[in-house]
Structure 1
Amino acid sequence: MKRTILMVSAMALLAGCGKSTDAPKTETAAPAAVAAPTSGINPATMDTAVRAEDDTYRHMNGKWLDSFEIPADKARYGSFTKLADDAEQQLRELIEASAANAEAKPNTEPQQIGDLYKSFMDEAGVEAAGLKAIDSSLSTIDAMADKSGIPGLMAGLSTTGVGTPFVPFVHQDNKDSTKYVVDLYQYGLGLPDRDYYLKDTDKYRESRTGYVAHIEKMLTLAGDKDAAKKAKAVFALETALAKEQWDKVANRDPVKTYNKVELSKLDALAPGFDFKAWFTGAGMAGKLDYVIVSQPTYITGFAKLLQSQPLDAWKAYFKWKVIAEFAPYLPKAFVDENFAFYGTALRGIPENRPRWKRGVELVETSIGESLGKLYVEKHFPPANKARMEALVKNLLEAYKQSIDTLDWMSPETKKEAQAKLAKFAPKIGYPNKWKDYSKLVISGNDLLGNVARANAYAYQFELAKLGTPIDREEWGMTPQTVNAYYNPEKNEIVFPAAILQPPFFNAAADDAVNYGGIGAVIGHEISHGFDDQGAQYDGDGNLRQWFSEADLKNFKAKTAALVAQYAAFEPVKGYHVNGELTLGENVADNSGLTIAYKAYKISLGGKPAPEIDGLSGEQRFYLGWAQVWQGKDREAEAIRRLTVDPHSPPSVRGDATLVNQAGFYDAFSVKEGDKMYVAPEKRVSIW
């Protein structure tokens, strides 16, 4: 039951918090002599033959871009990936130590971490188990005599993590942030997005053909003698669902997707679908008076398809969903075929990751905060948290000052903006309380059972929130996640421990590069509270228009200009950046960098920045920004992300943001005729 939140990058794990514990103990080294700060800029990656005035991103990263080969088991690589790889190795050491602990007691964190990993690494056991753990689900589907059992089936599948045509999400009610509510959200496609089914490009046509062949192969491996016919039926059904689904731009609109429906009126929205049976199977009966239907027309369209599509097509579809969900944990033939399509065909990745890496990922996604507690104890110095707290304080102060100077916003709206800013809740490093997994049963020789139980545990954890006070201590990421996010419903900005490392945060470096790196990340997350989505929520997390009509008109004019500016970029021939889909992230990048620069200036206290390695403080600030977006994508992955990812590609983020920054022009003396030059009247400045 995952809920999308605004983030710096697309990597995200959603976890929760449980019983309170003391703050983790941290290993610290003996004090060392204080050294002069370094610039924090890596000259080895730079291409000095390219001027910063013409292409700052390539100037900073050109040598790396020309020489670095993406590892065979990855679709992309960059600063985020490097830190994630480092964290992954650290996590492996922690996990293997737990696995080697023969004295771990049942249902303790060492036992759960160690046995979950061991169950994944036991390849012989996985081969011997075959499909036994999902045979009962497949048999239940085969035994359905009519469509009356489908609502209960869908609900039951959702409780174990299997995707169905719509799924429930528990989160705060967008118009009453004091209570939890359930959203019904469109789902159930096997390709990355509806565009893959509906748009006519060579890549999408190739993906469609490959997908049908992939379904057939997987069903054949599962022993289905009519796999070819069923694969075509599944694809036809998913295509029909895709035609009913809303696109990603429409789904970004929190007002359009907030449709409060009383339970008694759901039958009218979806005639013929037994919602009573669904709520009972989903464990929600008697716990709700209403739900939020994110895409009402889709639910209606789905109900029509339920009636019009034959039972055999639906049975094939649900069998496919069960097999697809558990494919990474089935015998090798299933794993290899699953990767051949989802890894190689869709994303261009030549090789699957080593099994140990996939085992670490399973532990992270299943019991991530237990692992995070160990990670923080070993790898997160208290000094990093203290310095981050100071940076966040400076960024918030810079934002406060910036709001007061806006020339396009009225005093009344500025007052509302300041009120929201004052209620921001920063979270740094790790949760104050950790999630309790003690009731989750993990066995060292039952991989599929472990996965199903972990999925069910996560589902029940979310379900248990209904009717309880909002838990404002809960985190949406684990400490070991290289990422950050803003949650508009809690009006919080969250920075996990793992991102607080170079190039984002360098404790040995001068402040300029840190403000251009982690400072801009902090500013980015603050700015999400004021982007085209976040600005529709007030400081308490309620969906409410607090802009005046005139200010809203000014704001929309500025965001429209940013949409057009980014839509001009064509990272892959024939595939442009979707300026509307990426608008929120682009606003956050531009505003976050602007605010970080102001905060950097505040931190200098009126004194000039030191020159280090021939670079001024202002130049190091902007190169620090370009440095953190160092990254490369395989072409298939780039196309996929241009379709589904609300973030612009790394090269676009590195350069496009800079051309709107007044300080950038001063730092590098950018003038008319330089390739990075944009006329002042065409630059977009929002916050």
Structure 2
Amino acid sequence: MKNCFLFLSFCLLFVACRQDAKPVSKDVLVADLDKSVSPANDFFNYANGGWIKANPIPDEQSSWGIGNLVIEENLKRLRTICEEAAKSKATPGSIQQKIGDFWLEAMDSTKIEGRGLRPIAYYLQQIASVKDIPTLTAAMAQLEKIGVNTAPGMYVAQDDKNSNMMALQLVQSGLFLDDREYYFNQDTTYQNIRAAYHQFIQRFLELSGNDSTEANKLATDIIALETSLAESHRKLEDTRDPYKNYYKMSVGSLDKLTPSFRFVRYFQMVGVPPTDSVIVHQPEYYKALETELKNTPIDVWKAYLRFRLIDEYSQALPEVYGQAAFDFSKVLYGAKVRKPRWKRVIATENNLLGEPLGQLYVKKFFTEKAKQRYSSMVEDIRAALKSRIQHLTWMSDSTKQKALVKLAAMKKKVGYPEKWKDFSAMQIGRESYVQNLMNANAWWVQYNFNKLGKPVDRDEWEMTPQTYNAYYNPSNNEIVLPAGMFTVPGATDEQIDDAVAYGYAGASTIGHEITHGFDDQGRLYDKDGNLTDWWTKEDAQRFEAQADKMVNQFNSFQVIDTFKINGKATLGENIADLGGVLLGWDAFTKTKQYKENKMIDSLTPAQRFFLGYALGWMHQSRPEALRAQLMSDVHSPAMYRVNGPMQNVDAFYQAFHLQPGNKMYVPDSARVRIW
């Protein structure tokens, strides 16, 4: 499992809308329309097709959309912050010094080329000295400490059944490719991916010392090892049930699952604080790991570790390593050219030093006034869900009361943290880019492990203010809404009318995240964030019947070639999308704009609301990226995050006059009715 900081991305700020906003002089909604498409047949392409036709995917990207427009602008802003910090002669240990030195070392390609593999030589030697299982696991521990993922997948997080306690968690791991199906799917696409993966492994092994014959055989053996481990992996949809992926056991019991690994010793070597128990999410994986420790030759394990080490640091090694990694990523995701160095560096620095960058970022680009405006919109959406719960016909009063209590208790975090993490112990200097990466990775690994045995910090953020994303955390019963998620590129808040704002921000983000507290997973957690059953049996059955309708709807969407959406794996996100649209709509109907019902650019307020929602998913992907998403992502592709929920929203039918015979028309009895 990747450390939590690795999934962060970039974005601009959003300033929430004023009630009497003035529309943009060039209406963004009208400019993006493709009027050759009927909104009743394909709303996504009606709303966004004009923009998509005029904006082909750049060669350096695997996909392109509104988020990328935000990201590209933000990259420039973050670059300015880094360059100013590098020139600032900042005090040693300060945020500016760390940001500046990281940037300077990462951009010094001449120094990087001249040092070759020397910056990782110590760890290569540790791997080379492995001679048996104890020394193998010791080498894994050394790599774990610097953020290199190998066979064990471990981290510290809240105990699902006791949200006040932090627990050591172990999950299925060991695979380089994103999902078990990459190893078994016999479609030509995945046969080609496996062939390219073999070439990628072989290339790294040759560059680091093996001749071509040895590297070819070892690459074959590494893939065989991962395939054996993949056989024990649960399918993506089967990892989503928190009850079926919760096995709390003593550390001694864990050692019985994988006696050769000696986890008690491993925890000590990695720096995990003493603990009596662990939560193992997929015990069968650790049984399979025991088999492979015994049956796979040590030389194969050593090559496996060497490949993982080089891959983790390939972007900070000479260009030949980074280019090899990109060549394989082209097969997976389809980008044609590699991004320029400065963009790659900003991405890495934002992953590792995102909060320090965020502190400088919000001083320039996000105000307290904006934060308050945005907080008010959250309360509008919360009130909309409260009303919906109160008027549900399928839910009993006893469950309703508990749902309302949970909703009222849901915490909101808006814009940026009230308190920042302390990065003073992270050592960033001018030794080398690799060393800075190692130090930063090691800081994050230890930061996570140090949470064990300490009170839960419910004020912590897992995203940075500049992140183009948001999340719901069931263990904290909270929504976290970074400043950066809600930008409409090229427009200020005064230019965005309420209809667009409540669709773009209220529905696709705020309502979406609030609904996650009541989707197929979130509904299993109570107001305090504990995994506990607070539903009556009958209410749960009625919920599941509607959820099954949604699974079947999304299972029917054929996206590309023979690849369809996995309705079970994407169920939580699909429920949240539908809930978000409904809540955003309900809140919008309370506004002055909706009540006055004045048209703007020949669009009614209702039409602008739904177009505003679609604007949030204005996105296109290369075929390779789409296939990868369908295989390993719990989110549906952008087109279906628009057309999917809309076919279940009565107000959408009225706004665009859908009738039987239209492609998006679903009979009333077949529409999903949850929240």
- Normalising by structure 2, we get a TM-score of 0.95
Structure 1 partner of 2:553: 565
Which among 662, 666, 673 is matched to residue 678 of structure 1?
A: 666
Q: Deviations over 1:88-137 (max 9, x none)?
A: 11111111111111x21111111100110111100011111211121111
The answer as to whether partners of 1:395 and 1:596 remain within 8 angstroms in 2 is yes
Superposition CA RMSD, Å: 2.0
Determine if the alignment matches structure 1 residue 649 to structure 2 residue 637.
yes
| Mapped partners of 1:4, 1:195: distance in 2 | 24
Q: From 53, 58, 78, give the equivalent of 1:66.
A: 53
Task: Give the deviation of 1:519 after TM superposition.
Answer: 0.3
Report if the CA contact (8 A) 2:3-2:147 is conserved: no
User: What is aligned with 1:20?
Assistant: none
Report the CA distance shift for 1:524/1:505 in structure 2 as closer, same or farther (over 3 A).
farther
AA in 1 matched with 2:622: R
Between the aligned partners of 1:500 and 1:372, the Cα distance in structure 2 is: 16
Identity %: 38
Alpha-carbon shift at residue 192 of structure 1 (Å): 2.1
Which residue of 112, 137, 142 maps to 2:98? 112
Match of 1:625 in 2: 613
Q: 1:606 offset after TM fit, Å? A: 8.4
**Map of 1:21 onto structure 2:** none
Confirm or deny: 8 A CA contact 1:216 1:228 kept in the other structure: yes
Is the deviation greater in 671-680 or in 121-130?
A: 671-680
The question of whether the paired residues in 2 share the 8 Å contact of 1:41 and 1:513 is answered with no
Q: CA 1:500/1:67 → structure 2, altered by over 3 Å: closer, same or farther?
A: closer
Which residue does the alignment assign to 1:153?
A: 139
Residue number in structure 2 paired with 1:235: 223
Q: Which residue of 2 aligns with 1:609?
A: 597
2: CA distance between counterparts of 1:3 and 1:421?
30
Indicate the residue corresponding to 1:175 in structure 2. 161
Distance 1:156 1:530 in 2: 41
Q: Post-superposition shift, 1:308? A: 1.3
Cα distance in 2, alignment partners of residues 459 and 190 from structure 1: 19
Aligned residue in 1 for 2:202: 216
Query: Which of 270, 278, 295 does residue 291 from structure 1 map onto?
Result: 278
For 2:522 and 2:94, the matched residues in 1 are separated by: 40
Judge conservation of contact 1:3–1:170 (CA < 8 Å) in 2.
Answer: no
Residue 35 of structure 1, CA deviation: 6.7
Shift of 1:507: 4.1
Match in the other structure for 2:295: 308
* Equivalent residues of 2:29, 2:612 under 8 A apart: no
Residues 348, 637 of structure 1: 8 Å contact kept: yes
Taking the aligned partners of 2:538 and 2:201, their CA distance within structure 1 comes to: 53
Q: Cα offset for 1:610?
A: 2.7
SS of 2:595's equivalent in the other structure is coil
Matches within 5 A, 1:457-496: 457-496=443-482
Q: 1:544 aligns with which of 529, 532, 535?
A: 532
The alpha carbon displacement at 1:267 in A equals: 2.0
- 2:559 aligns to what SS in structure 1? coil
Cα displacement string for residues 488-527 of structure 1 (whole angstroms, at most 9, x for unaligned residues)? 1111111111113116994422211111110011000000
2:447 alignment partner, SS class = helix
Structure 1 segment 528-539 matched on structure 2, within 5 A = 528-539=516-527
Output one character per residue of 1:444-465: Cα deviation in whole Å (capped at 9) or x when no partner: 3411110011000001111221
Letter in 2 for 1:12: L
- Residue 335 of structure 2 aligns with which residue? 349
Task: Find the aligned partners of 1:273 and 1:72 in 2 and give their Cα distance.
Answer: 45
Q: Does 1:76 align with 2:63?
A: yes
Name the residue aligned to 1:91: 78
The reply to whether residue 134 of structure 1 matches residue 120 of structure 2 is yes
* DSSP 3-state at the match of 2:91: coil
Q: Determine whether 1:403 maps to 2:399.
A: no
Shift of 1:153: 2.2
Secondary structure at the aligned position of 1:660 is classed as: coil
CA drift at 1:85: 1.4
Q: Secondary structure at the match of 1:172?
A: strand
Q: Distance in 2 between matches of 1:425 and 1:223?
A: 53
Distance 2:461 2:135 in 1: 37
Q: Distance in 2 between matches of 1:266 and 1:646?
A: 29
* 2:257 corresponds to 1:257: no
Deviations 1:68-97 (A, max 9, x none): 211111110111121111111111111111
Distance 1:348 1:36, change over 3 A: closer
Q: Is the 8 A contact 1:49 1:59 kept in 2?
A: yes
**2:424 paired with 1:451:** no
TM-score normalised per structure 1: 0.94
Correspondence for 1:48: 35
Query: Cα offset for 1:367?
Result: 1.0
Moved more, 118-127 or 664-673: 664-673
| d(CA) in 2 for partners of 1:501, 1:606 | 22
CA distance in 1, matches of 2:492, 2:611: 14
Measure how far apart 1:50 and its partner are: 1.7
- AA partner of residue 175 (structure 1): K
Paired residues, what number?
664
Is residue 95–residue 117 contact of structure 1 (8 Å, CA) maintained in 2? yes
Q: 1:267 aligns with which of 255, 268, 291?
A: 255
Structure 2: how far apart are the matches of 1:67 and 1:38?
20
**How much does 1:65 deviate?**
2.1
Q: Which residue in 2 is equivalent to 1:17?
A: none
Tell me the secondary structure at the aligned position of residue 130 of structure 2: coil
Structure 1 unaligned regions, length at least 5: 15-25
- The aligned amino acid for 1:106 is P
Q: Greater CA deviation, 455-464 or 602-611? A: 602-611
Name the SS for the 2:41 alignment partner: coil
SS in 2 for 1:180: strand
Q: Secondary structure at the match of 2:384?
A: helix
Verify the 8 A CA contact 1:440 1:454 in the aligned structure 2.
yes
The answer to whether 1:12 aligns with 2:19 is no
Counterpart secondary structure, 1:657:
helix
Q: Distance in 2 between matches of 1:368 and 1:335?
A: 22
The amino acid that maps onto 1:245 is H
Greater Cα shift, 183-192 or 544-553: 183-192
Contact conserved, 1:505 with 1:517, CA < 8 A, in 2?
Answer: no
Q: Secondary structure at the match of 1:182?
A: strand
- Output aligned runs, 1:372-451, within 5 Å: 372-451=358-437
For residues 341 and 67 of structure 1, the distance between their equivalents in structure 2, rounded to whole angstroms, comes to 29
1:590 aligns with 2:586: no
State the shift of 1:468 in Å: 1.4
Letter aligned with residue 560 of structure 1: D
Q: Distance in 1 between matches of 2:94 and 2:630?
A: 43
- Which residue of the partner structure matches residue 501 of structure 1? 487
Q: 2:435, 2:594 → 1: CA distance?
A: 61
Counterpart Cα distance in 1 of 2:74 and 2:95: 19
Farther-moved stretch of structure 1 (185-194 vs 89-98):
185-194
Matches within 5 A, 1:330-341: 330-341=317-328
Q: What is the Cα deviation at residue 271 of structure 1?
A: 3.1
> 1:486 Cα shift?
0.6
SS in 1 for 2:430: coil
Equivalence for 1:510: 497
Q: 1:186 aligns with which of 172, 186, 192?
A: 172
Secondary structure of 1:486's counterpart equals strand
